[in-house]
Amino acid sequence: MDKNFNSSSERKLNCKDVGKCFKLLESILDGEADLESKDILDEKLEKCQPCFEHFHLEKVIREVLKTKCTKHMVPVELADTIRQKIQAIK
């Protein structure tokens, strides 16, 4: 988002389409949206404070998760023990 956004005082403070907007925001952050959806989001972020805040919060959370969550190898013995306990419960 390299566009210059209006200041928050110029954005509306309530969103009429919260569910729809959040779904659009999620699809864009997940990389599933097309160019038209991204243009719609840019317009929405310029006009709507709740959407602007939610988008940037989600973006930061995802960036933190990407940097902090790493794959660690589980010891084979531990994995085998867990499998055995699951089988015993079934």
78: pLDDT confidence band, cut at 50, 70 and 90?
very high
The Cα 2–Cα 42 span in angstroms is 10
The Cα 11–Cα 14 span in angstroms is 9
Question: Tell me, what's the pLDDT at 70?
Answer: 77
Q: To which H or E segment does residue 32 belong? A: none
4: pLDDT confidence band, cut at 50, 70 and 90?
very low
The Cα 10–Cα 6 span in angstroms is 6
9: pLDDT confidence band, cut at 50, 70 and 90?
low
